[in-house]
Structure 1
């Protein structure tokens, strides 16, 4: 395909690597491979073993590396620049001088060579053994075929070109769309240096060329109406790209919008004259003349293939339940009984309400997992982000649910009402459980409820869903002291709690018997083997520092309070501050 960047292509891509670029492989255990010596050492020429097949790399966006599903740290911007240079060389060795020039250009730091060695040493510790090798005074990254997104994109583009040559335009379009899906924003995003800037520009240009080819294929297979919106946005973003304007004119004409197609030509001619002082290219002018005389051949396009029949997919979207779920036995039995009876005459809806951190989601997920045998057709889950400034829009959630149920994108309508109707139709005759977590209000929830018997919905929210007709309402409070102590013990361990029972009671009391706070406090203690329960109790006894102590990793009681505080009216916020 013309215009592909002159970065050496990966070789010997297997079919599976080309056509399943996002498959995640389980990483094998580390091999016992000695670290490669630094450039210039006597043993610098090494033949390294192949790295683990679980490693994958991305350059069509931010520089990233994975081992299986684990994201590997790629270091500072300059270290990512080194990684990018080596990845783009397709296994060929880069000398230290080439690396210094690529990262810093004409103004390298005084200790550039030592810095390169430091970056290489850090990368070698992170990557699989044998991935980063030292050879002939330089470095190289040796990766199996199909592990770099750019190589996969090249293979898909090449296969697409071959399919188009043989006349299979539908396959060519599909392969090209998959290649374009590998882009994740700006290529080499955030990577400094002249080499990265050059390659970034070439990759951006190549993506535009691939996009133009895919849009051309869209028109060839009859998808002109769908292409108009995308082409309109692209011509606005790239106003001087005449090929995009030519495709837009053709798409408009084939959609029965002749006047608009001619208006695009007039606008293009005006723009080129004002900006560059030139006329449109001959192909664009010829297309205008063919539109003016209503050329019969211009309207010809391959009829689109009939829409594929909907595939019944069994979604299983529930988050994992916590292994140390504790207490709430009454609620578990109550909700379980309601869900197990969902095969009756009406759809079952249960709504759990309570303050932040009281354990609504944990309880709902636990109950939903227990009820899975009653819903053999699957379970849907969404975080509605009701405490965020911008909660999830029902129209977007319906789109994701429809896709999860097997509805192709081309069959998903645009409006919320039409999507809700199709969603209810897709669930008709199926037994599906829908967990709507963190809802803002009843209005956000109503369009997402199934409409048939046999299905059920579980809703969690900080507000009571009194506006949901027929819903079973559950108000969740903090744990009892016994349940709170039991949860704390299960996380920390019975041995550490048994000898300091009173201190443990002081801890859960300081946590207000709130499950989130107890989990955070217990997790901190479990991670610090030198602490006693009394040490933790003393830290939580200071009310002025208590919220600062109740955070572990990405869990924090303060953050939960802040979300709730942000939803209050100014007068309510003032009352809350006064109470504090």
Structure 2
């Protein structure tokens, strides 16, 4: 379907929290309507109404779930007629609604030309965001985990790229964001160590290793890999950073 032009941009924010806007106007939706918009944005396509109703209201009888869906669709259409495209059998998010998660994922995966135009700090702000952190719907965790893995890999890559460019402040922030998102992840800690070593901060690198050692011993009962220990001890560090 062709995108509509000459109209205010429809934006859906899912990172850090839900927000739906049309130009400068925020669309206020009840909770069930927010859940429907989010479900359609995350799953894409034009799913059948019965599938959507069953997914969003699994504990309700089929007729009640269908009624809940009709009410949610009506509420959304009352708030803004450009949000959904609905037929008697299917419902989907309108094609010209811009979703921040989709754009962030495209940047993170390096398939968006904006990735080369953004500054490191702007990319860091984009990647250091969780998907609807205060939502607890049963269908949300797989989407949240997919975004978590995408942004962790991208934060590590950004940190190393910024370090190679000599932009160590942004590099450290990106690596710290990766460690903060998953403290037990060795590749995130290794990334932070590599940034410190590239800047010549051996003490900081050893400190990160020791904190990582304490954390994984307490939680997992294991030690850092020999490769990570060797990196800090200097036997494997050659002064060059390798992009992942």
1:257 alignment counterpart:
201
CA shift in 2, pair 1:114/1:212, >3 Å: same
**Cα distance between partner residues in 2 of 1:260 and 1:220:** 18
Q: Following the alignment from structure 1 to structure 2, what is the Cα–Cα distance between the partners of residues 269 and 192?
A: 32
Say if 1:81 and 1:191, in contact at 8 Å, map to a contact too. Answer: no
- Matching of residue 202 in structure 1 with residue 146 in structure 2: yes
**Distance apart, 1:138 and its partner CA:** 2.0
Give the deviation of 1:174 after TM superposition.
3.4
State whether residues 93 and 135 of structure 1, in contact with CA within 8 Å, keep that contact through their aligned partners in structure 2: no
Q: Which has the larger radius of gyration?
A: 1
* Distance of aligned partners of 1:197 and 1:238 in 2 relative to their CA distance in 1, 3 Å threshold: closer
Task: State the partner residue of 2:42.
Answer: 88
**Cα contact 1:250–1:261 (8 A) shared by 2:** yes
Kindly indicate whether residue 65 of structure 2 is the aligned counterpart of residue 153 of structure 1: no
Give the counterpart of 2:64 among 91, 102, 111. 111
* Structure 1 residues 183 and 271, CA gap change in structure 2 (3 angstroms): closer
Residue in 2 that maps onto 1:102: 55
Provide the C-alpha distance between the structure 2 equivalents of 1:70 and 1:162, rounded to a whole number of angstroms. 28
The aligned counterpart of 2:29 is 74
For the pair 1:60 / 2:15, whether they are aligned, the reply is yes
> By how many angstroms is 1:178 displaced?
3.9
1:242 aligns with 2:193: no
Cα deviation 1:208-250 (Å, max 9, x = unaligned):
3322221121222122355346645753563202122112212
Report if the CA contact (8 A) 2:16-2:130 is conserved.
Answer: yes
- Trace 1:174-253 onto structure 2 (pairs within 5 A): 174=118, 178-182=122-126, 185-224=129-168, 227-228=171-172, 231-232=175-176, 235=179, 238-253=182-197
Give deviations 1:465-489, integer Å, cap 9, x for gaps: xxxxxxxxxxxxxxxxxxxxxxxxx
Q: Following the alignment from structure 1 to structure 2, what is the Cα–Cα distance between the partners of residues 217 and 158?
A: 14
| Alpha-carbon distance change, 266 to 178 in structure 1, aligned in 2, over 3 angstroms | closer
1:133 matched to 2:85: yes
| Pairing 1:556-575 to 2, within 5 Å after superposition | none
SS at match of 1:93: coil
Task: Provide TM-score, normalisation by structure 1.
Answer: 0.36
Structure 1 residues 242-251 or 221-230, which shifts more?
A: 221-230
Matches within 5 A, 1:419-458: none
Is residue 123 of structure 1 aligned with residue 76 of structure 2? yes
| Contact 1:176-1:210 at 8 Å conserved across structures | no
Q: 1:66 aligns to what SS in structure 2?
A: strand
Q: Which has the higher contact order (CA 8 A, sep 6+)?
A: 2
Q: Is the 8 A contact 2:160 2:171 kept in 1?
A: no
Q: Displacement, 1:119? A: 0.4
Unaligned runs of 5+ in 2: none
User: Structure 1 residues 225 and 236 mapped into 2: Cα distance closer, same or farther (>3 Å)?
Assistant: same
Distance in 1 (CA, whole Å) between partners of 2:102 and 2:41 is 10
Give the distance between the partners of 1:133 and 1:160, measured in 2 at CA: 27
Q: 8 Å contact 1:173–1:217 — kept in the other structure?
A: no
CA distance in 1, matches of 2:104, 2:46: 23
Shift of the 232–71 alpha-carbon distance from structure 1 to 2, 3 Å rule, reads closer
CA distance in 1, matches of 2:32, 2:124: 27
Partners of 2:118 and 2:65 lie apart in 1 by 45
Flag the structure with higher helix content: 2
Distance in 2 (alpha carbons) for counterparts of 1:126 and 1:156: 30
- How far the C-alpha of 1:153 sits from its partner, in A, is 1.8
CA RMSD of aligned residues (A): 3.4
State which of 88, 94, 98 in structure 2 corresponds to 1:142.
94
The correspondence of residues 222-371 of structure 1 with structure 2, limited to 5 A, is: 222-224=166-168, 227-228=171-172, 231-232=175-176, 235=179, 238-281=182-225, 283-289=227-233, 291=234, 293=235, 295=237, 297-298=238-239, 300=240
Distance 2:117 2:212 in 1: 27
Give, in angstroms, the shift of residue 84 of structure 1.
Answer: 0.4
